[in-house]
Structure 1
């Protein structure tokens, strides 16, 4: 029996017409806590036992939850725990970077089940989108071959690419993907796949991945600083991802920082792109990432010099987001080579004093999260799962899909 178990869950509502929200509440509670009985769920969500029973039966019919063996305790009635079925839903994610694209499929738990990567062809987004659609088709065929039922269980397609979005394109700004910014990407991929398609910037995608399976899992207030070709911040505020009025919230890479009497955007000083420039590497090739990893492991003085300056700026960035957003923790994640990210993370300490420097903290002010070339793509794929199954206030208002 689990009578004394502390269960992380949002409250459901017993009002009529709110089953969509209540289904999401149950799915999230089981995802966060593992298998739960109907009594566990009723106690944690404050829903009636009858409501829980009806919803569990509905989720079982839909293939999203399954019962496990009956648990017999020393006292009370036997209970039946319920678990999520990973194969109950799937989603696809696409990362579009400056020179390559990655496509990944995940299950209901956000675990990767198929992937493919390719260099983007010349010809801009018109040709690049054709390649992406081909790669999506390849991953879908692989997915169906392994899980035949997935053909009817795709929650949607998530896309992630560098922001900011909606600004006037500038071909002179090599940090922005000007042609891709002005291309009808979401519409093209939605039409080509028949899937509901959404777009995030790469920092928000990393935050989505951290919220599902990473250091932000179960947290209501966290800031994920993205360290990749560029720099950004994914914001988890009040238990939900916050993207702003133009999907550009958290673009801290655009904030001007001063060093040595000069001002420049943070991502011009502390991103992978700035390191590539510092080393004279061609970022158009994947070999640049391998070179950075090799040089980092070798303790190359040029790498160490760059880290010293970048860490000072990133320390300021942590102080800034702590002061503005008051998160439970700040998470460093992204698509940089692991050895480099780890060295940068270590060099950021000690952190600057801030409002977050409290004696009663249960989480570190700064921690390292998901680091790797597939972090953004996994976050992009997690977005359709989040939209379909995470509790949101809009679901109560019947505004959520």
Structure 2
């Protein structure tokens, strides 16, 4: 189906600031139908008519085209009600695939996901101090191996590659972990451009916090939330923002940079405030453990074993810092949800969310809508799945910013 509006969308040239053509409206409506089916799991044509306000014949045309293109699959009719049986449609998991590359201070991950966000294949490589050449060599070889192992993933079905990196040009600052030569190497190279030369599909680059919120928005708890703040706890604390069901990266692609936000110092010397990452990051936990974890928090994100009182102290400090940041975000953005995730075991993530919820309960009790503190769905896989979700979002979502802006 290459060449249809489902697969080939041209951006409007610079200078256009308003209005859409008939073709652009058709593309938007097609994407809207696919997005609504993704969000709800399955929908009949009558449901789509009600949700979109489009004419029944328009919905029939769009759904039939999407089914012919392989994006939607027809399910068994639902009987038991008056009138004709309702025929629901769902996404076809094999309609499209995408690769995600996650880079951090200790490892790199490559994930291959399908159209519904299921991880088809995954590889990880660990590094002492990752450099761009090492990461690019791993990405090329891992993608080659995963494609060879899954020959049913056809070239024309691959939407692209999304890179989630803390060494994003807009967010790379001084780093106390990477040696200066490595930092300089990351500053000099455009990894997106380098990998774009290797593959025939589009390659995207965002910071790892933005990518993690994209995973939650497309495939996790955020799919059912109109607005939410996302906090991702890794080597540093990243974050992202979703508004009105759309990813909001900001003009400089740095919206939701929670780790830099000042919070009460909580015993950090004479400093009244410190950046959130000084309290809530895995690096802050490693400092508390002082080597007692034998590197488990970096190498075993699903099972840390028993880390004792230092872990409990870190959870208390991290949740306090997160609660402070959330209070400020609520005051500024009027949101009702925060999703907390990170490269950590599920039980630790659960404890941080519970402690944050407890600290916010009294302060936010008077809001018109109950405030929710939710656990993220993906853990250490979040940035890689988020990276892979960006090509799918760009190619198949109804986000007007993605469709109609440079």
TM exceeding 0.5: yes
Q: 1:233 to 1:63 in 2, by over 3 A?
A: same
Could you say which residue in structure 2 is the equivalent of 1:270? Answer: 280
Q: How does 1:242-257 map to 2 (within 5 A)?
A: 242-257=248-263
**Partner residue of 1:48 out of 43, 55, 70:** 55
**Partner residue of 1:153 out of 150, 154, 157:** 157
Could you say which residue in structure 1 is the equivalent of 2:67? Answer: 60
Q: What is the alpha-carbon distance in structure 2 between the residues aligned to residue 214 and residue 305 of structure 1?
A: 29
Could you say which residue in structure 2 is the equivalent of 1:188? Answer: 194
Q: What is the alpha-carbon distance in structure 1 between the residues aligned to residue 43 and residue 216 of structure 2?
A: 23
User: What TM-score, normalized by structure 1, do the two folds share?
Assistant: 0.85
- After TM superposition, give the deviation of residue 70 of structure 1 in Å: 3.4
- After TM superposition, give the deviation of residue 115 of structure 1 in Å: 0.9
Question: Is residue 95 of structure 2 the alignment partner of residue 91 of structure 1?
Answer: no
Q: What is the alpha-carbon distance in structure 1 between the residues aligned to residue 234 and residue 255 of structure 2?
A: 17
Q: What is the alpha-carbon distance in structure 1 between the residues aligned to residue 243 and residue 88 of structure 2?
A: 31
Could you say which residue in structure 1 is the equivalent of 2:36? Answer: 29
Q: What is the alpha-carbon distance in structure 1 between the residues aligned to residue 250 and residue 81 of structure 2?
A: 52
Could you say which residue in structure 2 is the equivalent of 1:166? Answer: 170
Contact 2:357-2:373 at 8 Å conserved across structures: no
Deviations 1:328-385 (A, max 9, x none): 21111121232322232233342247884335425x4312122522122111111111
SS at match of 1:135: helix
Which one is further off, 267-276 or 365-374?
A: 365-374
SS at match of 2:150: helix
**Partner residue of 1:295 out of 301, 306, 315:** 306
Unaligned runs of 5+ in 1: 1-12
Question: Is residue 314 of structure 2 the alignment partner of residue 306 of structure 1?
Answer: yes
**Partner residue of 2:22 out of 16, 20, 23:** 16
Q: 1:152 to 1:350 in 2, by over 3 A?
A: same
SS at match of 1:245: coil
Q: What is the alpha-carbon distance in structure 2 between the residues aligned to residue 80 and residue 229 of structure 1?
A: 47
Could you say which residue in structure 2 is the equivalent of 1:329? Answer: 337
Q: What is the alpha-carbon distance in structure 1 between the residues aligned to residue 129 and residue 245 of structure 2?
A: 41
- After TM superposition, give the deviation of residue 37 of structure 1 in Å: 2.2
User: What TM-score, normalized by structure 2, do the two folds share?
Assistant: 0.84
- After TM superposition, give the deviation of residue 282 of structure 1 in Å: 9.1
Q: 1:250 to 1:85 in 2, by over 3 A?
A: same
SS at match of 2:247: strand
Q: What is the alpha-carbon distance in structure 2 between the residues aligned to residue 143 and residue 272 of structure 1?
A: 34
Q: 1:343 to 1:215 in 2, by over 3 A?
A: same
Which one is further off, 157-166 or 197-206?
A: 157-166
Could you say which residue in structure 1 is the equivalent of 2:7? Answer: none
Could you say which residue in structure 2 is the equivalent of 1:8? Answer: none
SS at match of 1:293: coil
Contact 1:120-1:131 at 8 Å conserved across structures: no
Unaligned runs of 5+ in 2: 1-18
